[in-house]
């Protein structure tokens, strides 16, 4: 019986190492579900006509991508954020981070939860399928304006979106898989996040403006299954 002890011990160790390897691989897959491998997205390169990045010297700009027109306006710092539960950006109060321009892919916290956006390089190959919702109806009923997480004036009728992990701003093509409609939107805000009334809302991959949801045809139903892909831009 003593001669069997060593082989049995070796077998137990081998089985333990194999199990740990499987658990580690599973965790890695879960951790990286929101981005694809490099080179996976090979869509059309879109020509952008006009400057699409706000600088310290500009407060308003208009540009075009294909048939889509985008108007970007810098919001006054005293405007409330569309996400009032956004606590910090890059370790600073949100308004201070926006003032310093420390937003693009800076980590941030919402209701005590820490979020780390993907790098600009990773965002270039991002593609994901999941549930989309829309937001902004409440801002239409309030006086004054609202500010997105990167300091832009929120316009519920524009083609914009909120995303938890993409750098701000990023342009993505969103396709409604239920009716085939497709548009391009400017991601300039953070969300969607779990809400007290609906914890599952945080599982949605993108929150579109009302204007974007109207063009994709799902305003009335509230949510839709979509495909979201980063597009590549080239100056016109």
Greatest C-alpha distance within the chain: 84
**Is a pLDDT exceeding 80 seen at residue 200?**
yes
**Is a pLDDT exceeding 90 seen at residue 67?**
yes
Which tens digits make up the pLDDT trace of 147-164?
999 999 999 999 999 999
Q: Enumerate the domain spans of the chain.
A: 1-31, 35-235
CA 90 → CA 115, 120, 149, 162, 197, distances in Å?
10, 16, 12, 18, 28
Where on the phi/psi map is residue 29: left (φ > 0), alpha (ψ -120 to 50), or beta?
Answer: alpha
**Under a CB-based contact definition with an 8 Å cutoff, are residues 235 and 159 in contact?**
no
Q: What is the pLDDT of residue 140?
A: 58
What share of the chain in percent tops pLDDT 90? 71
**In this structure, what token pair is assigned to residue 22?**
């499987």
Q: Mean pLDDT in the chain?
A: 84
Q: What is the mean pLDDT of residues 93-120?
A: 97
Identify the CATH number of the domain defined by range 35-235. Answer: 2.40.40.10
**Is a pLDDT exceeding 80 seen at residue 89?**
yes
């Amino acid at each position: 019986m003593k001669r069997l002890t060593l082989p049995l011990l070796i077998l137990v160790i081998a089985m333990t190492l194999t199990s740990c390897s499987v658990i580690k691989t599973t965790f890695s897959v879960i951790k990286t579900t929101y981005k694809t491998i490099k080179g996976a997205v090979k869509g059309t390169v879109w020509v952008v006509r006009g400057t699409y990045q706000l600088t310290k010297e500009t407060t308003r700009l208009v540009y075009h991508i294909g048939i889509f027109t985008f108007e970007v306006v810098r919001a006054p710092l005293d405007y409330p954020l569309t996400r009032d539960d956004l606590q910090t950006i890059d370790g600073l109060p949100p308004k201070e981070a926006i003032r310093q321009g420390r937003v693009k892919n800076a980590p941030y916290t919402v209701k005590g939860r820490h979020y780390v956006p993907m790098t600009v390089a990773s965002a270039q190959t991002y593609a994901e399928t999941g549930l989309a919702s829309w937001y902004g109806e409440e801002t239409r009923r309030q006086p004054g304006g609202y500010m997105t997480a990167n300091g832009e004036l929120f316009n519920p009728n524009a083609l914009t979106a909120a995303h938890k992990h993409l750098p701000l701003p990023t342009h993505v093509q969103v396709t409604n898989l239920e009716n085939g409609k497709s548009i391009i939107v400017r991601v300039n805000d953070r969300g969607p996040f779990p809400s007290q009334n609906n914890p599952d809302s945080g599982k949605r991959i993108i929150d579109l403006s009302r204007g974007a949801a109207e063009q994709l045809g799902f305003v009335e139903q509230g949510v839709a299954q979509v495909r979201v892909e980063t597009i590549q831009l080239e100056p016109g």
